[in-house]
């Protein structure tokens, strides 16, 4: 995920003016990239803790919320190590010939840890996005209802989540092993360390392609397939619901809870696609076209990293905007406010109609 060529020596870049605009953009963006990333990471870690504490409550326990909780865990594991990394290397962003002490062996070793951990957590997040769209699609298609069906789906989600976490770590082991640290003489009799660039090595290129396909492109394609199926299913159900209400002489004034939740999840998945799919395609192009990595991909590295961090931090805002239930629970838990007596939501199913006759903490709700 993270670009580590920002401190590469100038002779690693090919000469020419055709990429001057990208170089100017990279140079300008790197000035505030570190400070902006720190703000995003601190905000994201805090809000993802909110996500976990709210979504894991007993009355919020659903298959969808379990996946979202573990997605929040992966996002925290992405952002937390990046904070000291950004502070050290980007605040300010000094090249090695000016600040060689920044590029000590221990800090480059930590950089390598950040690179590998970020690749792992983003692989986990992408496949959790696939499972999110897949299980939501199955739930919308299923006719099974009740506590037993819910518990069965929860068990399936937990098993799939464990498999995703473990498999993501194992698949990327070759990627971990191909990254090496090399040393160079620096100014004032110092030694500068850096992550070795192995773009021409056959094994490295193969691992590069495997990472792009397994961690980026395939999950994104699966998310597109399941999300498209989910959109079709929701549209089909809403059409039939409106016909039933029209036949009964009633009007549909609001969407069902399932439709609202599904729309929120689709937004989350679309953000995944906008962030991860272009990066996966660029990795494949880098493995196919000579010098594309140095002249294009590495110059956009800081920008792509920032967009990826922003995507991991924004879910809390989406939940608050699009989920009334999540918003109410956050207000009750962290702002210590109780909602007045009112109808919370009408899903069109009398067994799921919720009233706030008691404090919100005693209401059991399901998606």
Q: What is the pLDDT of residues 9-50, one digit of tens each?
A: 333 334 445 568 888 888 888 888 999 999 999 999 999 999
CB-based contact 37:309 (threshold 8 Å): yes
Rounded mean pLDDT, 189-215: 79
Which CATH superfamily does the domain covering 5-340 fall into? Rhodopsin 7-helix transmembrane proteins (1.20.1070.10)
Rounded mean pLDDT, 174-193: 85
Relative orientation angle of helices 218-247 and 105-141, to the nearest 10 degrees:
30
To which H or E segment does residue 168 belong?
Answer: helix 147-171
The pLDDT score that the predictor gives to residue 362 is 36
According to DSSP, residue 215 is labeled I
Give SS3 for 191. strand
The pLDDT score that the predictor gives to residue 190 is 86
% pLDDT > 70, the chain: 80
Helix (H), strand (E), coil (C) string for 126-138: HHHHHHHHHHHHH
- Burial (CB count <10 Å: 0-12, 13-18, 19+), residue 358: exposed
| φ, ψ of residue 248 in degrees (nearest 5) | -90, 0
As given in the structure block, the two tokens for residue 214 are 């397994």
pLDDT at 358 over 80: no
The pLDDT score that the predictor gives to residue 252 is 55
Average pLDDT, the chain: 80
Distance CA 143, CA 278 (A): 37
Distance of CA 275 to CAs 9, 67, 81, 256, 337, Å? Answer: 28, 19, 20, 29, 36
The pLDDT score that the predictor gives to residue 177 is 82
Distance of CA 17 to CAs 22, 24, 45, Å? Answer: 10, 11, 40
**Segment among 95-109, 158-172, 243-257, 269-283 with least mean pLDDT:** 243-257
To which H or E segment does residue 120 belong?
Answer: helix 105-141
Sign, Cα dihedral of 212, 214, 216, 218? positive
Band of residue 251 on the pLDDT scale cut at 50, 70, 90: low
CB-based contact 339:66 (threshold 8 Å): no
pLDDT at 146 over 50: yes
Distance CA 24, CA 26 (A): 5
Dihedral angle at the C-alpha atoms of 301, 307, 311, 312, nearest 10 degrees? 50
The pLDDT score that the predictor gives to residue 53 is 95
């Amino acid at each position: 995920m993270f670009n580590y060529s920002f401190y590469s020596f100038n002779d690693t870049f090919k000469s020419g003016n055709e990429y001057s605009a990208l170089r100017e953009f990279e140079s300008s963006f790197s000035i505030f990239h570190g400070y902006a990333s720190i703000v995003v990471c601190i905000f994201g870690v805090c809000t993802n803790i909110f996500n976990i504490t709210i979504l894991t409550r007993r009355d919020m326990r659903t298959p969808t919320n379990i996946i979202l909780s573990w997605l929040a865990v992966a996002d925290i594991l992405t952002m937390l190590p990046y904070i000291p990394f950004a502070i050290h290397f980007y605040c300010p962003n000094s090249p090695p010939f000016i600040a060689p002490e920044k590029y000590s062996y221990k800090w480059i070793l930590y950089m390598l840890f950040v690179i590998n951990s970020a690749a792992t957590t983003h692989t986990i997040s992408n496949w959790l996005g696939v499972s999110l769209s897949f299980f939501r699609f199955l739930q919308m298609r299923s006719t099974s209802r009740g506590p037993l069906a819910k518990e069965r789906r929860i068990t399936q989600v937990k098993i799939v989540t464990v498999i995703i976490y473990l498999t993501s770590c194992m698949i990327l082991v070759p990627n971990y092993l191909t990254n090496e640290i090399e040393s160079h003489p620096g100014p004032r009799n110092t030694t500068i360390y850096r992550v070795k660039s192995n773009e021409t090595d056959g094994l490295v290129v193969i691992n590069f392609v495997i990472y792009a396909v397994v961690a980026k492109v395939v999950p994104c394609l699966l998310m597109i397939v399941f999300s498209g199926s989910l959109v079709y299913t929701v549209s089909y159900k809403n059409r039939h619901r409106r016909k039933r209400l029209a036949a009964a002489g009633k009007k549909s004034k609001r969407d069902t809870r399932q439709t609202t939740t599904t729309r929120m999840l689709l937004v989350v998945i679309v953000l995944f696609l906008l962030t991860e799919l272009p990066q996966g395609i660029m990795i494949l192009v880098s493995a196919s076209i000579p010098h594309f990595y140095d002249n294009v991909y590495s110059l956009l590295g800081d920008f792509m990293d920032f967009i990826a961090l922003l995507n991991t931090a924004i879910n809390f805002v989406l939940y608050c905007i699009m989920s009334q239930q999540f918003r109410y629970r956050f207000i009750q838990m962290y702002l210590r406010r109780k909602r007045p007596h009112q109808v919370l939501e009408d899903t069109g199913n009398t067994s799921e109609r919720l009233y706030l006759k008691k404090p919100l903490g005693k209401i059991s709700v399901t998606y």
